[in-house]
A and B are shown apart, each in its own frame.
Chain A
């Protein structure tokens, strides 16, 4: 008989029991997600990390299900052997996650810290509103990747779609391939590096002056993620003509005033 529980909003949450199907070996665990719902997979993952003291989890057959690996707020290692759907690994703070397949739209949204490495491609809105940590996509990413980015680093091995870095506020985007139209449109700050062709720059996105710090950053990131020798990049920054925003957070502005 199916057990149904209700969350604080009164929405039904079928299968709210933790499956507890993992094979646990010391601080490591693994389980097969093939026949589990999104909710069951996330419950199992959280049970392992928060209640069993597991530090390393391998999840087989995620099957492109949506919203997997979200809201993990502890340091740990997670490996998804396969692909994730929409909103994978969003709202995380601390974990190192490796996805051997691809991810759908809005992967790593609002990520605070940690590392996510995707071996395949990613959909649109990758790392939207990223606050910190590294998001590495070895394939291509869709449109509006890095939209509203507030920190951290996005590294793309392939190409990127339109409006990459739209309204970017801080952080870095490194793209090894070509980029679609409207790069860095309405960005406030941050830096975008592109090795391939740029179809067009967005409003207030301008070429930036290359420094030694740029070289050091690129080389370090390529070394960390085993991406070989970096190609030659162009650098783009905010022209600071469109808006008169300063760099202060609201709390900082209060102190100044």
Chain B
């Protein structure tokens, strides 16, 4: 779990976790206002997340068994240094630098989004969703909770709702093409899958590179070239394409 609160409240967070039966393994203070807690817990994640968030000024930034979400203000290099991203290991990762257009510039409004408290789904999005309020009301009536005013959050919560109801990530993403209105390219990850979807107008950019040992997606090829230092063949997926890779 990554949590944002004054670190003076760290002991309160730890105390609440332990009261619910969580066995704390490690606590890392990444910044003066955010820290990471690693723990074992078999109970209800929503109950746990709600209990932590009930602490004044505390916010759960991510909660998961395989994925960890790091989000903050500043450029990629700043966040990378603050949170020691070079120390992270794993099979897949997504990142996003937001150009805010419609909602607040704050940590809650930064991508990736997750579906509080559904663990291990994260989404980054480029675009605008025009039926945001309809879906927000619909998902809130279904018991989902939103952490921001940003339309992109809908996608993570929508996918979580669909997967909770038994859909695979690919099925949920395909369904989103018909149910989410607007222009979008989004990338979603779960603990063992990476998927991308484009709206029916293909209005937002996406470049795809695939090799035997790497799948890389970005809004522009130059971003992929930053990690692949040789000439590569890439292409832009078309409208209504959903591609999912499984580990």
Contact = CB atoms under 8 A, between A and B. Distances in A.
Contact of A82 (B205, B231, B238): B231
B97 interface: no
B205 A123 contact: yes
A101 B233 CA distance: 8
Contacts of B207: 104, 123
Contacts of A161: 202, 236, 238-239
A142 B236 contact: yes
Interface stretch (A1-9, A59-67, A229-237): A59-67
A59 to B, nearest CB: 14
B59 interface: no
B234 A102 contact: yes
B239 A180 contact: yes
A143 B203 CA distance: 8
Given A64-B225, A102-B234, A161-B202, A143 B220 contact: no
A140 B235 CA distance: 8
A86 B238 contact: no
B239 A162 contact: yes
Interface string B228-246: 0001111110110000000
A180 B238 contact: yes
Contacts of B236: 121, 123-124, 142-143, 161
B14 interface: no
Contacts of B235: 102, 121, 139-140
Interface string A105-142: 10000000000000011011000000000000001101
B193 interface: no
A144 B235 CA distance: 15
Interface in B189-247: 200-203, 205, 207, 220-222, 224-225, 231-236, 238-239
B155 to A, nearest CB: 21
B234 A124 contact: no
A152 to B, nearest CB: 22
A143 B204 CA distance: 10
Contacts of A120: 233
Given A64-B225, A161-B202, A162-B201, A121 B239 contact: no
Contacts of A142: 202, 236, 238
A163 interface: yes
Contact of A104 (B221, B232, B233): B221
Nearest to A84: B221
Contacts of B202: 124, 142-144, 161-162, 180
Interface string A164-176: 0000000000000
B220 A66 contact: yes
B220 A63 contact: no
Interface string A141-168: 0111000000000000000011100000
A104 B235 CA distance: 9
Contacts of B238: 142-143, 161-162, 180
A88 B191 CA distance: 38
The 9 closest A-B pairs by CB, nearest first: A143-B202, A64-B221, A142-B236, A64-B222, A162-B239, A121-B235, A161-B238, A123-B236, A85-B222
Interface of A: 63-66, 82-83, 85-86, 101-102, 104-105, 120-121, 123-124, 139-140, 142-144, 161-163, 180-181
Given A104-B205, A104-B220, 15 more contacts: A82-B231, A83-B221, A102-B235, A120-B233, A123-B207, A123-B236, A139-B235, A140-B235, A143-B236, A143-B238, A144-B202, A161-B239, A162-B201, A162-B239, A180-B239
13 contacts: A63-B225, A64-B221, A66-B222, A83-B231, A86-B220, A102-B233, A121-B236, A124-B205, A143-B202, A162-B200, A162-B201, A162-B202, A181-B200
